[in-house]
Each structure stands twice: as structure tokens, then as C-alpha cells.
Amino acid sequence: MRLGPDLDQQELAGAFRSFCDKECSAQHIRDAWDGDRGWSTERWKRLAEIGVLGVRVPEAYGGMGLSDFEMALIAEEAGRMALPEPLVDTAAVGAGLLDDLDRLVGWPPAPGWLERVASGDAVVAVGTLDSSVASPGILVHAAGEADLVLLAAPDAIWALDPADCVTEVRRGLDGTRRFARVDLGSSRALPVVSGEQVRSISVAVTDRGATATAAMLVGLGAGMLDMAVSYAGQRRQFGRQIGSFQAVKHQLADVAVRVEFARPAVWRAAASGASGDATASRDASVAKALASQAALLASRTALQVHGAVGYTSECDLHLWAKRAWSLASAWGDVTFHRRRVLASLVPDPAPPLQGQAQPMDTFRADRGALL
Amino acid sequence: MRLGPDLDQQELAGAFRSFCDKECSAQHIRDAWDGDRGWSTERWKRLAEIGVLGVRVPEAYGGMGLSDFEMALIAEEAGRMALPEPLVDTAAVGAGLLDDLDRLVGWPPAPGWLERVASGDAVVAVGTLDSSVASPGILVHAAGEADLVLLAAPDAIWALDPADCVTEVRRGLDGTRRFARVDLGSSRALPVVSGEQVRSISVAVTDRGATATAAMLVGLGAGMLDMAVSYAGQRRQFGRQIGSFQAVKHQLADVAVRVEFARPAVWRAAASGASGDATASRDASVAKALASQAALLASRTALQVHGAVGYTSECDLHLWAKRAWSLASAWGDVTFHRRRVLASLVPDPAPPLQGQAQPMDTFRADRGALL
Amino acid sequence: MDLSFTPEQEAFRAEARAWLEANVPSVSRGTGPLPSLDTPEGFEAHRAWERLMFENRWSVVSWPQRYGGRGLGVMEWLVFEEEYWRSGAPLRVGQNGIFLLAPTLLEFGTPEQRERFLPPMASAEEVWCQGWSEPDAGSDLAGIRSRADRRGSDGWVLNGQKTWCSRGAYADWLFGLFRSDPDTERHRGLTYFLVPMDAPGVTVRPIAQLDGEPGFAEVFFDDVEVPVDQVLGEPGQGWEVAMATAGSERGLNLRSPARYTVAANRLVELWSEVASRDRDLAAMHADAVASAWIDAEAYRLATYAAATRLASGGKAGSEASMNKIFWSETDLAIHATALALLGAEAELLSEEGRPGDWMDGYLFSLAGPIYAGTNEIQRNVVAERVLGLPR
Amino acid sequence: MDLSFTPEQEAFRAEARAWLEANVPSVSRGTGPLPSLDTPEGFEAHRAWERLMFENRWSVVSWPQRYGGRGLGVMEWLVFEEEYWRSGAPLRVGQNGIFLLAPTLLEFGTPEQRERFLPPMASAEEVWCQGWSEPDAGSDLAGIRSRADRRGSDGWVLNGQKTWCSRGAYADWLFGLFRSDPDTERHRGLTYFLVPMDAPGVTVRPIAQLDGEPGFAEVFFDDVEVPVDQVLGEPGQGWEVAMATAGSERGLNLRSPARYTVAANRLVELWSEVASRDRDLAAMHADAVASAWIDAEAYRLATYAAATRLASGGKAGSEASMNKIFWSETDLAIHATALALLGAEAELLSEEGRPGDWMDGYLFSLAGPIYAGTNEIQRNVVAERVLGLPR
């Protein structure tokens, strides 16, 4: 039993942290807000160059051949600096699903797409559907900027050209996140694969999305905690640093506790996903519930500690806070995942939890719990 | 529009407060714990002498002829001193139901019982049932010490001799509260009244029980807050009174806020009940939810502020805290009443709330939410 | 104890409701909703709405008639507020003047000052912003360093900087605290000034809030000359005057319960919609929804109880700090619960790039525990002044 | 990263489970449950259980074999704890000695002290209680005033009073801190003593806890003579030695995750029963139940992560304070949620006058945020030592 990164893994995360420190400042994020797509195609190329986009692409296809676990370490660092690029969508969920389609289904285009992901030549967006019955269209993050849109239902998976299926793009409160309406009906595409074999692949999509997003939320929480601690150490009122007031100390200590106790759960979920453990779905939900809760508490507390300064968009804090709010409901919010955990624990799913083991409709079922 | 006690009412409450100060010390409560019935028959007589047991008994039957509102003011003071006698059961709920049976049903024995209540000659206990189908027996507070047990179902009301229906008496964590199992089946009694006309009388039983108990909880909360403030002003650690630490201050300030904002809701519920307002049930539930929440927060915080001292049964605090825990689930707990409020607000009761407007089974449906 | 309103109050309610229903800017009549009051066009649209209200004597019902009010009591004001919020009428662009400065003017102002300032305030011809906080004096308001120096017998000269002035980007006048005696510290030696924003030497820098709009501003004073009759109260008495305003800000005046009860009722409607789609999901949120609604109701009832005390000659005191904690947390709870029900949908912007109503309300509610003295400060006040805990 | 246990660990788990299943006092075998360990008969029954464990080498699996252990690592200890709590075995009457004093003895004790004290501690032949707090030194532990005066070359004399000594009513030995240098203040000049409770001059006054049983005691010292070899560590070094014990108390040693995961699983079972009766009521509590279970799981995972760091040569630090906050609040959440599900039933006493299991657990959990340094103190530690906020 080992739970935690080894030295190599720590080094990998540390190297990526240095990259983010240099290449993803708050000003970079503001530039991304102002841009057409919410993130930088140049930095995307750089992410490919340092290998991050191919972390979980097999070496044979130009990737690093690592697992969801290393991906989670990377995602935490990305969260800490609020990296705007669709890393989770493409490098974690997209690459993971393409890898499954290659290994388990033998879908011919998969290797090509995996190569393009690793080289930074393709953005992949992934959405999930409750059922394969065509819906009036669901909103999928980053699908508007993607080269490939994958949709996973319990009994079918589609690979779509965004040009055929995206009907509109909406902006979110976080300026780096754009949501495209994907209309399966209008694309008239046939599924890549369908039938009972699809279920476990689709469940893994949700689990991977939840876990990688949870990792990013832990990083966002840690980042906001750092900002608040730093501000509380500088700002003076009543002749003292406000961080010397017990009320401020205790609020920040509570944030530290929630963030620290979310991290091992993310590690566990990522490792369970990587090794296909029987508890992988429950572990992912545990991680996402804890990480969302931690990041929401961090955002709420950091805003309060910053006072009016934090209420301005001149202060960088809101760039992190809005990302946290968005990600807290992405890939299932706190309520969704708590429900899923409970459903996994009762032998015969009790009535209040029926139907909860299904992958969710990416958007409508994404319920958020802000503080 | 006036919401609050007038001068006469304030005076009534003030006089009763003086009585409690003199005749209900913590030592008196400890004596009650050790006694056979959990309270004092001598003090019961004294309560009758000062008129408190007949507050809402008509003057014609020897009472003060006042309303549920004055009763609530009295109950708050009783809560503040953690008075052990079954005041709510007999003087609020019992007298209220007997008054209804007299005025609305013309039940011949009602005047006699009301006279006995006012004179301190009778203890009345009241329980509620989901339906008139005989159950294996429900637990009713104080029924073991009562001279009359009234049971209210949506379609029938029974008046029982405790000797015929009480099958066992159980003790609670609060040593002043004893619960008797009342077996309707074994009593073979016929209802005093039955049919559709009963429903509103039975609903009023629940509302009156919830409101008077809420008043007592506000008093208990205020009492525990006083104890904690007083202790925090005396106890020194690190060379300072612990009440000078911001962490202690803020916890106690939060208790003060919750207690202060529960009180007007109790006034409103009591006044609505007294005047038979259309919103009386909702107002009662609002009051009980707020008061239970406030008293539970007060008990949790007072225990924490007292530290290990408060964890002993040598310290008086536990006498108040255990009463608060017990009353927080008596006559419907926080969850029960929140559900009832929500059910009253949605025009067509939404599925999650069906069946919630019924009076509850006194015991099984009493769900508590401790902090 | 009497929970009913008088026939006069009921008639007043009916009149207010009818007027508001006929006049509130609305989609159905093609007159609304107004653009955000933190945009230039929105500000002017809100000003026009205030003027219409003033012309019909709805702007300041509790003020004396001579200043444009109806001379009504606090209960009638609460009734009006219930109807105002119920009607979905716009946020009040003049609120800082009407609800914060006006009570202070009525208490401390000279007859001439009241005549001069109250009517144009009520009509929003002159919109006021508050100039209290400074970069180093936020929660610690007594740390004010902006200076007022006496110039001759008939004037003062102001220098310094104020910040977080809500509506400051577009306001016409500012009321603010300045240190008039340089040898004093903390609460002493402050003076309360009324300053036109177009006075020479005043510079405004708008600041974008969380929603991206310039909801507040920094205001710089560079040798701004102010005549002596623009001092409110006595020179050096500024703290005492300001505390009267702060009581209004935290207490009943600024935050009438109706805004929360209306929001709480909307929350229940939202929940009811969710319940019709997903019964169990709704049940999982039922506790939070009910709790938020109950707290809004508690605030409403506590306000009636406070109004009852005031009507009997009682005086508002440190309970204002309890109010502030309670309404700000209730507001947050209502909006956070709504966002939880909406899920990811909550974060979508409109085509114009504006947050949806619930998100907008949530962003606004986040400021509640911060402005008018952070809730941490209010808890200190409750602990020390209400409970008597040692400082 | 390897989430599986080694074959040796799995074999150890199986052995532990089999032994516990065969030996844990149980209703079905007519051997349990044991009476409360705070009653005289319960104390002796728990002592006998510890002796049985010791005889089968299950009492202290992570200790060196020479003292009665199996010399196993922290991971094996966690496995054993999981099995122990899973089996429903009794609370450990010797826990203060085994989990708090023993690690300190192993770090600071002389070889003779270890030989003398560890084996009878492991067999519960000698049960230990902690003598740290004093009436005026609770959270402020450095305020200790009980004195140790040197008498000749081979002994000390103790005077003063200790309080909140858990198990103090029946314990055989006490480990405690005394001020050995009267001229010092706060953390300096303290010495860590090991004192037999039957020494002349020791008086014990049991104190009833919330459940009415004497779970702790006051202990008075009146010229109690103690030889020099009953000092743990160097004279004057008591604070440093004590802090090692405190780290164990707050951290991993005293509160292994298994007790919470077992309680959380029981909570889910309870919820599941409620769900079969009232679907909507269960749904309204689902969030709290899931949240409590998830927090217990988070504590378990965080403990494995900490054990991984320790196994790689890392050292436990101020994270002990985070642990203490987290396990105490998780314990409270689990039990409070259970009581909410049980409703009024929760408060009923048994025929013997004892609280039910969930209420008993709730009462116990209420002490969690208080003992071993209140959570307020722990939050100070986290803020100042982990986050580096100014003192």
C-alpha cells in the first residue's frame, strides 16, 4: 500500500509547476478572457512540447505513456495557476476515452487522434448523455474550439466533427470557459460503437472527468488559500496585520484542512481509475465531492478575507474563484457525487437513489452547490 | 400591526421570571432528576397558585382566560430556567385541546378538567397519531405522571385514563423527561369525537405543541448563552479572559443572532394560533424550526466554550443542554418542520412533500437534528 | 398584539400595488427590465424611474411631505417596501442618499440643508454616493486620513482619497468623513462633509466589480474647496454623525425584509420546478430551500417586532449589527441554494454578456458580509456591546 | 503508487480477523457487550479483555517483540485497527498508555524504563492515565503550577492538582507534567513524571461526565515522593517530551481512521433502514449522511497518505493539528446525523439507565473538539505554523 506520488512523479509535477509559474501569470489569464476562445493556442503548443498533453497517450503514439494518476498531479498544478487551456477535456478525458476506444474497441481512427493530441495538433472535447435518444442538444465545454467532439451515452459513443454538430457557443461567468451546444440529431452521425460493452467505457469517462476536475479544484483551492494568506499578512487594519486576527486565522485554517483532506482522495481516485479498481466510480465521486467543497470554501473565504479588494475584477482572485465555481459543477456537482457515493454503499439501491449510477447529461445533471 | 408583548404581557412574563429565579434553581432541577417523576408536585401546586397553569383556561373555569401568546411568553421564561414541570403538556397543549373540546365539540367533562388544570389538581399529557388505526403503542411525554391522557388523530380524539393505557415508562437522557408507552388498543376506549370536524382540532394540537416548545427552546437558548457568556468572562487562559478571544466572541455572537431571530417568530406563531390565522400551521413550523436550530447551536457552542468543565455533570450546563436536545425533537424536529413549511408554500404539494400536512405520530415522526 | 393592518394601511397597500403594477418597467409593456444601473445608460434609466416615482410621491413615503414624502410611519414604509419588491421594480439608484444620508440629514442637518438637499435627492436629480472607506481605512474606519483644512471663515479644503464609493462612477454628490483636526487620532477630530462630484479637484476612477461593471469608484480630492454650510453636524462631530448613518446602513433602513422574502419565494418556485423534473434531487435540496425561506421570514418578523418597539418609543441600538449579520447571510443562503438548484446553467451569460438573475444576485450577495462593516466587525460589536464580553 | 496490500499484510489481516471473530465479547456468545469502562466492573472486564489480547500478541502489534508486540509497521497497524473496529471489539481501556505514553517512552525512555513499564502497560496489568491539565491550565497547558521539588539525590516530591484525567478513577499509574524549577514560566522548567496512583499522598476524586459515569478524575498530590528513575527524559525537558505525546494524541496514533469508517458504515445502514420506511425523509438526510461517510473516507485516505510519507522517512509535524480538527468534526458529524435520523428515539435510556449506542457515541464525540487541545487552539496552530500567519 502506497498512497501518494513517488519521487519521479513529484519531479514531473514540479517541472510542470515551474512551467506554469513562467507561462501562466494572472495577466495571461486576463488575456485569455479577452480572446476569442478563452485560452491560448500558443501555450497549447508549449504544453504539447513539454509533453503534458500526451501524459496519458501511449508512447507508441508519441505520448509519455503514463496514467490518470500522473494526469491528476498535472491537473492540480494547472489548477493552482488557473491554467485556462482545455487540459482536462483533451489530455485527461479525451485521451483516456480515445485510449479505451483503441484498446477495447479497436476504433481505427483512435491512434491518429491520440498522436494529434500528444503533439498539440488536436483539441478534443467530451460530453456525456443520459441515453442515446437524441436530445435537443447539450452544452459541452470547449466543443466550440475542438477538432473532435466525443459523446458518451450508456449504450453508444459518437465521434463528431464540430463543424457538423455545434449549433451555438455560450460564454460562462469564467471568461476562459465557453460552452458549445452539440446537437447529435443534426449531425446524423452513426455511433462509433454501441451496445452493452459501452457502459463501462462511458462510466470511465465520467469518472475520469470528475477525478481530473477534482485535482484541478484542489489546486485552485490551494492557490486561493495562498492568495488569502498572503493578503492577510500584508493588509493592516486597527494597527495590525489582519492575518493576526483569530477570526481570519480560523477561517483560513478551515480552508487548509478541507484542501489537505481532499488531496489524498484525488490521488486515490486517480490511482483507482488507472488500475480499473472496482471502487473507481465511488472513489471518483468521493474525490469530486471533497474537492468541490474545498474549492468553494476556499473561494468564499478568500473573498471575505480580501474584503472589498477581492470584490473587484482588478484583483486576480476572481479569476480563480470563477473557475472554481464553474468546475465545482462540471462533471457532477457536490450533490450529484454524494448521491452517487451513497448509491454505491447500499446493497439494493434504495428508492431515493434509483437511476443514479448512470452517466449524467453533462449539463442538465450538473448541479452545483456554492456556499 | 403590532408584533411583540405589550406592557401587561411583559409584566406577566417578568413576574413568572421572578418566580422561577426563586423556586427553580439548578439544585431544584437536580433534585427533580433524582425524583420518581422527574419534577416536583410541590412546585406544580405553586405554579397553580400563581396562575400559570391556568393562563389559557377560561376565567369561568378558574383560569386567567389569556391566550397562546401569553402562554408562549411564560414558556420562554420556563425554558430560561429549565423548569422541569410538564407545563407545555398540561397548560399549553392540554388546556388548549380541552378548551377546543369544550367550545367546539361540547364534550361534557371538558370544563371539569379545565378547572382541575387551573387549580393544579390534574396533569394532562397529549399525544398525536398518524391515523386512528390502533398502533402497537406510542411514547407520550409525561403520560406516566398524568391524570388524563388525550390522543389526537386526524379523524378522532380519545380521552384516556392513564391507568388503562400506559404499559411502560422509559427515561430519557434528560432526567426530568419520562416517556410513557400509551396503548390505545388495550384501553378499548371509544373516541370522544370523530369524523372530519376533528382534523382542524388535531392540527391545532400539533401547532400548539410546536409553538410552546419553540418558546421554551428560545428560553433554553438564551439561558445557555448567558451561562457561556458568564463563564467566558471569568475563565482565564493565556493570561486573558477567554471571552476576549475573537474565536469565542464570534461563536457566541452567532448564538445571540440565532436566538434573537427565533423569538419574534415564536411570538408570531403564538399570536397566529391564538387568532386562528390561516397561516397558523406554517407559522408554528417556522417558529419550531428556528427555535430548535437556535437552541441546538446554543448548546453546542456553550459546551465548547465551557471546555472540559461543561463536559461534566457537575456543571449545570448539561441540565439545559439535554433539555434542549430533547425538546428540539419533541413536537417535530427541524427537518419535520422545514418539510411542513415547504409543503405549505407550493400550491400543489410536490411529490417530496406528500403526506406531510398530517399531524405526526408523536414519537416515530419526531426527527431531531443535533449539531 | 395585532397581526392585521389597519384599513388605512390596507388602502395604502392597494394604492401602491396598483400604481406599481401600472408603472414598473416590464418586459410585457416593453419598458423593462432596465439595463444595469452600473452602466451609463442604465444609470440614467434608473434616474428617470426615480423621478417618475417622485412625481407620484412614491419615492420617499416616510419623509415629511415638504420634502416630497407622505409623512407616513415605519409600518407603512414596510408595507410599501413589500409592494415595491413584490412588483419586481428596479433597484433604487438613489438608495445611498435616500436610505443612509437622509435619516442623518433629518437628525443632524440644518433646516437650510434639508431644504436644499432632500427634494433633489428624492427625485434623483442629485444622486449621492458614500465617501467613507479609504485604502487603509476599511473595516477600521477610524483610520481615516483624508484631510479637511480650514480656509478662512467660510470654507474648508479637502485632500485625500476615498474608495469603494458605490455609484461613485456616476453620482452627483458625495457624503464623506474627513480628518479636520490633524492632531487627533481615531474617532476624534473627524468632520462630515457634503461634496459635489463636479467640484474642481475631484477626480473619479471607476472600479469594475465581480460582474465587470463599475459598481464603485475611487474618488480623489485635490484641494477641493467646500463652503461651511456643506458640513453636516458640527466640525469634529463627524464620527457621531457617521455612526447614525452606519446604523441605518446595517439596520432596517437599507435592507427592508421584502427584498429577501421576494427572493425566497422565487427560490421556492425554482425548487418546485426542479421537483417536477426530479423528485429526489428536489428532496435533497429541500432542507436548504426551506431553511433559506424560513430565515427570510424570520428577518421579516424580526423587522415587524423592531418596528413595533420603535413605534412604542423604543430606540434602535446595537441590534443593527445583528440585523446586518442576519440579512447578509440570509441573502447568501437564498442565492447559493438557487445556484445549487440551477447547476452549471447558473454560470451562463446572456447574449449581452450579463450574468443571469440568480448569479447576478449571488454576486451581489457576496458583498453583503463585507460592506457596511464586515461581518467579522459586526460579530465583535455583538459580542462586546450586546453580550458584554471583554474587549 | 500501489493501492493493494502485500500478501503478508493480507495474511496478517486474515489472522487478525479470525482471532477477533472468535474472541471479541459478543451478545451471541454471551460474553458481551462489556459494561461501560467507566464503571468499576466495566473497567475490570475491559482489563481482562486487554490481557487476553496481550496473551495472543494482539494488544500492541506495532511494538517491538520484546515488549509484547509483533514489531510490525504502521501499515500493518492500520490494518489491525481496521479489523479491530470492524469486529465491534471493546474500547481500549489502556489506550492512554498504549497510544500516548508508549511512543514517548520508546523515544525518550531509558532501556530500564521501557523494560519496566511497557509489558505491564501492554497487558493492562498497569493502566495509565494522563496528568496534564490543571484547573487553570487547560488549553493553556504551559500555565502548569503543580510542583516537583528535588529531595536529596535520588528523589522528587510532587505537590499540586491535576484534572480531567481520563480513566483516572481506576488507573494504576499516571504520567504528568510538573514544574520542577519554580523560577521558570510557561514552557520552561517542566519535568515529565511517571507516578503510581497508590503512592502515599495521591488522592483521586472521580468526576462524572455527561453520561453520568466517572470518566475522568481530579488527582491531588500532597508531598508525593517519586524516585529519579520515574522521570521521563531529562528534568526540565518536560515540555519537549510532552509535545511528542501531544502529537500522538492529536494525530494518527490515538484516532485511527477505522473507528470512523466503521461508524460511518453503520450510519449508512441506519439511513438505509429509514429509506425503506420513508423515502423522502431519507432523501432529505441523504446529503448529510453521504457527507459524513465521505469525510470518514477522506480521513482514512489521508492517513494512508501520511503513513506512506512516514514509511518513506518523512516526519509527522503540525499536520497533527489538522488531523485533530478533521477527525473530531467528522466524528461529530457522523453521530449528529445518526441522531437526526433516529429522532426522539435517540434520547431513550436503556433499562439500566445507559444512553443508546448512537447517543453514547454522540456524547463521546462532543468531547473531541475539546480534549487534546481545543479545536480553537488547533486552528491557531494550523494558521500560525502551517500557513505562517502572524501571531
Rounded distance, CA B23 to CA B35, Å? 17
Strand, coil or helix: what is A312? Answer: strand
pLDDT exceeds 90 at position B134? no
Interface contact flag, C283 B352, Cβ < 8 Å: yes
Rounded distance, CA D306 to CA D106, Å? 21
How high is the pLDDT of residue D53? 98
pLDDT confidence bin for B133, thresholds 50/70/90: low
How high is the pLDDT of residue C316? 67
Q: Which of residues 297-316 of B touch D (CB under 8 A)?
A: 303-304, 307-308, 311-314
Strand, coil or helix: what is A125? Answer: strand
Q: What is the ipTM of this complex?
A: 0.95
Grid cell in block for residue B269:
406563531
Mean pLDDT of B322-342: 95
Phi, psi torsion values for A164, nearest 5 degrees: -90, -20
How close does chain C come to B265, measured CA to CA in Å? 6
How high is the pLDDT of residue A78? 98
How close does chain B come to D175, measured CA to CA in Å? 19
Cα-based angle A257, A259, A262 (whole degrees, multiple of 5): 105
How high is the pLDDT of residue B369? 35
- In b/e form, how buried is each residue of A223-243, taking b as 16+ CB within 10 angstroms? bbbebbbebbbebebeeebbb
How high is the pLDDT of residue B135? 60
B172 touches D: beta carbon within 8 Å: yes
Domains of chain A with CATH codes: 198-353 (1.20.140.10)
Q: If residue C294 lies in a helix (H) or strand (E), which one and from where to where? A: helix C279-311
Mean pLDDT of D274-290: 90
How high is the pLDDT of residue B189? 81
Rounded distance, CA C190 to CA C182, Å? 9
In chain B, which residues have their Cβ closer than 8 Å to the Cβ of A237?
none
CA A17 and chain centroid, separation: 17
Interface contact flag, D209 B313, Cβ < 8 Å: yes
How high is the pLDDT of residue A186? 67
How high is the pLDDT of residue B355? 36
D309 touches A: beta carbon within 8 Å: yes
In terms of CA atoms, which chain B residue is nearest residue D333? B371
Predicted confidence pLDDT, tens digits, chain A (371 residues): 899 999 999 999 999 999 999 999 999 999 999 999 999 999 999 999 999 999 999 999 999 999 999 999 999 999 999 999 999 999 999 999 999 999 999 999 999 999 999 999 999 999 998 776 656 678 999 999 999 999 999 999 999 999 999 999 999 999 999 999 998 876 678 899 999 989 999 999 999 999 999 999 999 999 999 999 999 999 999 999 999 999 999 999 999 999 999 999 999 999 999 999 999 999 999 999 999 999 999 999 999 999 999 999 999 999 999 999 999 999 999 999 999 999 999 976 544 443 333 333 333 333 333 33
How high is the pLDDT of residue C9? 96
How close does chain C come to B70, measured CA to CA in Å? 10
In chain A, which residues have their Cβ closer than 8 Å to the Cβ of C280?
339, 351-354
In terms of CA atoms, which chain D residue is nearest residue C289? D284
Cα-based angle B72, C330, B294 (whole degrees, multiple of 5): 35
How high is the pLDDT of residue B363? 36
pLDDT confidence bin for B294, thresholds 50/70/90: very high
Cα-trace Rg, chain B: 20
Q: Distances in Å between the alpha carbon of C6 and those of B17, C11, C75, C151, C308? A: 34, 9, 10, 54, 14
How high is the pLDDT of residue D179? 97
Non-local CB neighbours of A123 within 8 Å, separated by 6+ positions: A44, A86, A89, A90, A142, A145, A146, A147, A148
Q: Distances in Å between the alpha carbon of B215 and those of A151, B209, B224, C70? A: 57, 10, 14, 39
Contact present, B94 and B126 (Cβ < 8 Å): yes
In terms of CA atoms, which chain A residue is nearest residue B251? A247
How high is the pLDDT of residue B103? 97
How close does chain D come to B244, measured CA to CA in Å? 13
Interface contacts B/C by beta carbons within 8 Å? 159
In chain B, which residues have their Cβ closer than 8 Å to the Cβ of A247?
246-247, 250
Contact present, C248 and B326 (Cβ < 8 Å): no
How high is the pLDDT of residue B260? 97
Domains of chain C with CATH codes: 7-93 (1.10.540.10), 128-236 (2.40.110.10), 251-386 (1.20.140.10)
Interface contact flag, C370 A353, Cβ < 8 Å: no
Interface contacts A/C by beta carbons within 8 Å? 122
In terms of CA atoms, which chain C residue is nearest residue D286? C284
How close does chain C come to A368, measured CA to CA in Å? 4
Contact present, C225 and C201 (Cβ < 8 Å): yes
Mean pLDDT of C113-138: 96
Which of A241, A256, A351 lies closest to D322 in CB terms?
Answer: A256
In chain C, which residues have their Cβ closer than 8 Å to the Cβ of B3?
1, 3, 301, 304-305, 307-308
pLDDT exceeds 60 at position D383? yes
Q: Which of residues 245-274 of B touch D (CB under 8 A)?
A: 245, 247-248
C183 compared with D196, residue with greater pLDDT: D196
Non-local CB neighbours of B16 within 8 Å, separated by 6+ positions: B50, B52, B74, B77, B78
Top residue of B8, B76, B235, B260 to mutate, by most chain C CBs within 10 Å, is B260
In terms of CA atoms, which chain C residue is nearest residue D289? C284
pLDDT in tens, B276-291: 999 999 999 999 999 9
Rounded distance, CA A208 to CA A206, Å? 5
Non-local CB neighbours of B331 within 8 Å, separated by 6+ positions: B206, B209, B210, B213, B288, B362, B366
Interface contact flag, B245 A247, Cβ < 8 Å: no
D387 touches A: beta carbon within 8 Å: yes
pLDDT confidence bin for D3, thresholds 50/70/90: confident
How high is the pLDDT of residue B358? 30
pLDDT in tens, A81-129: 999 999 999 999 999 999 999 999 999 999 999 999 999 999 999 999 8
In chain A, which residues have their Cβ closer than 8 Å to the Cβ of C212?
313
Largest CA distance in chain C: 74
Rounded distance, CA B304 to CA B325, Å? 16
In chain B, which residues have their Cβ closer than 8 Å to the Cβ of D347?
172-174, 177, 322, 325-326, 329
Contact present, D191 and D185 (Cβ < 8 Å): no
How close does chain C come to B27, measured CA to CA in Å? 26
pLDDT exceeds 60 at position B111? yes
pLDDT in tens, D76-131: 999 999 999 999 999 999 999 998 899 899 999 999 999 999 999 999 999 999 99
pLDDT exceeds 80 at position C254? no
Sign of CA dihedral D273, D275, D281, D283: positive
CB count within 10 Å of CB A34 equals 8
Grid-cell match 470584490, residue found: A311
Rounded distance, CA C326 to CA C328, Å? 6
B246 touches A: beta carbon within 8 Å: yes
Rounded distance, CA A89 to CA A53, Å? 10
How high is the pLDDT of residue D320? 85
Cα-trace Rg, chain D: 21
Interface contact flag, B256 C322, Cβ < 8 Å: yes
- In b/e form, how buried is each residue of A175-200, taking b as 16+ CB within 10 angstroms? bbbbbbbbbbeebebebbbeeeebbe
Contact present, C288 and C358 (Cβ < 8 Å): no
Largest CA distance in chain A: 69
Q: Distances in Å between the alpha carbon of C114 and those of A287, C59, C121? A: 61, 16, 10
Query: Residues of D with catalytic annotation?
Result: 249
pLDDT in tens, D219-270: 999 999 999 999 999 999 999 998 877 666 555 555 789 999 999 999 999 9
Mean pLDDT (chain C, rounded): 93
Mean pLDDT of B136-158: 92
pLDDT exceeds 90 at position C363? yes
D136 touches B: beta carbon within 8 Å: yes
Which of B172, B182, B210 lies closest to B92, judged by CA? B210
How high is the pLDDT of residue A185? 74
pLDDT confidence bin for B357, thresholds 50/70/90: very low
Mean pLDDT (chain D, rounded): 93
Query: Residues of C with catalytic annotation?
Result: 249
pLDDT exceeds 50 at position B317? yes
Please report all neighbours of C, defined by 3+ CB atom pairs within 8 A: A, B, D
Mean pLDDT (chain B, rounded): 91
B231 touches C: beta carbon within 8 Å: no
How high is the pLDDT of residue A348? 62
D271 touches B: beta carbon within 8 Å: no
Mean pLDDT of D355-378: 95
Does the predicted TM-score (pTM) go above 0.80? yes
